[in-house]
């Protein structure tokens, strides 16, 4: 039977493995797509409008927020970022799941939006703070000052763990990936995600009554 898509929210402090796990989920199911955000910042070299971001003016962005066209939004370093509602609604109606790699504030906004019944929110915890620091250092993407800033921010992220549907400790990447797949597979079968379910039950009822 036809199903509705899920809004799959993955959140974690930097270094807990969220991005790696999101990549593995897309390899597992190539129909999964990241939500394309809108932003008021200027495009960087090589970025494509509609693929990397929807690049809009500040006035257009604020108008979309006022009109309720954003599922979530925030201002970061002087620029606005947000998740447009329309393409996500289209994906849900077509039975396609959408991945959101966002922080707890964005997750909270989406969970309170008009599409809340389709939200599946998952928080990824590190096995320890020392391991979180080790991962940030070993990936070699940031200098010591940036790593320290990420570490300071990590506790603010972790402190909101209880606002999610599922929480898991990423102490083994393969096991965490397997648990994520199990959760998503089960959530796809929620009664609220199957719009044809009531019609099928009515058909069964009619068939049952015809027997007598």
Alpha helices in 102-143 (DSSP H): 104-111, 129-138
How far apart are alpha carbons 162 and 52 in whole angstroms? 31
pLDDT: is 94 or 212 the higher one? 94
| Chain mean position to CA 70 | 14
How many angstroms separate the CA atoms of 176 and 134, rounded? 19
Asked if residue 50 is part of any domain, the answer here is: no
User: Is 146 within a domain?
Assistant: yes
Averaged over 31-55, what is the pLDDT? 90
How large is the average pLDDT for residues 14-27?
Answer: 91
**Higher local confidence (pLDDT), 101 or 161:** 161
Helix (H, G, I), strand (E, B) or coil at 186: helix
Closest CA to 126 of 150, 91, 92, 110: 150
Q: Which residues contact 9 (CB under 8 A, 6 or more apart)?
A: 100, 102, 106, 107, 110, 111, 119, 120, 121, 122, 164
For the segment 106-159, what is each residue's pLDDT rounded down to a tens digit? 899 999 998 999 999 999 999 999 999 998 898 887 888 888 888 988 999 999
Instruction: Tell whether the model's pLDDT for residue 66 goes beyond 90.
Output: yes
Q: How many domains, in total, are found in the chain?
A: 1
pLDDT, tens digit, for every residue of 155-193?
A: 999 999 999 999 999 999 999 999 999 999 999 999 989
| pLDDT > 80? residue 196 | yes
Kindly report, residue by residue over 67-86, the tens digit of the pLDDT.
999 999 988 878 999 999 99
Q: What is the CATH number of the domain that holds 108?
A: 3.40.50.300
Tell me if 157 is assigned to some domain: yes
Q: pLDDT value at position 186? A: 96
pLDDT band at 200 (very low <50, low <70, confident <90, very high): very high
Question: Would residue 110 count as lying in a domain?
Answer: yes
Which structural domain, as residue segments, surrounds residue 17?
7-35+96-210
- Dihedral of CA atoms 119, 127, 140, 81 in degrees, nearest 10, equals 20
Is 192 within a domain?
yes
196 assigned to some structural domain: yes
Q: How many CA atoms lie within 13 A of 120 on its CB side?
A: 22
Whether residue 132 is contained in a domain is answered as yes
How many residues are given for the chain?
Answer: 212
CA distances, 58 to each of 38, 41, 55, 153 (Å): 10, 9, 10, 27
DSSP 8-state code for residue 176 = H
Q: Is residue 63 part of a domain?
A: no
């Amino acid at each position: 039977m036809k199903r509705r898509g899920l809004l799959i929210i993955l959140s974690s402090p930097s270094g807990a493995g969220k991005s790696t796990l999101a990549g593995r989920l897309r390899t597992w199911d190539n129909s999964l797509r990241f939500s394309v955000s809108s932003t008021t910042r200027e495009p960087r070299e090589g970025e494509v409008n509609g693929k990397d971001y929807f690049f809009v003016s500040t006035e257009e962005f604020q108008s979309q927020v006022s009109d309720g066209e954003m599922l979530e939004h925030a201002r970061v370093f002087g620029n606005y970022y947000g998740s447009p509602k329309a393409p996500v609604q289209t994906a849900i109606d077509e039975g396609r799941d959408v991945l959101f790699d966002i922080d707890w504030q964005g997750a909270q906004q989406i969970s309170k939006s008009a599409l809340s019944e389709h939200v599946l929110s998952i928080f990824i915890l590190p096995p320890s703070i020392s391991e979180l620091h080790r991962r940030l250092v070993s990936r070699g993407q940031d200098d010591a000052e940036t790593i320290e800033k990420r570490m300071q921010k990590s506790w603010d992220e972790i402190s909101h763990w209880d606002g999610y549907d599922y929480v898991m400790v990423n102490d083994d990447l393969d096991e965490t990936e397997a648990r994520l797949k199990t959760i998503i597979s089960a959530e796809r079968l929620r009664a609220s995600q199957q719009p044809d379910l009531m019609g099928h039950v009515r058909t069964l009822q009619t068939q049952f009554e015809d027997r007598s």
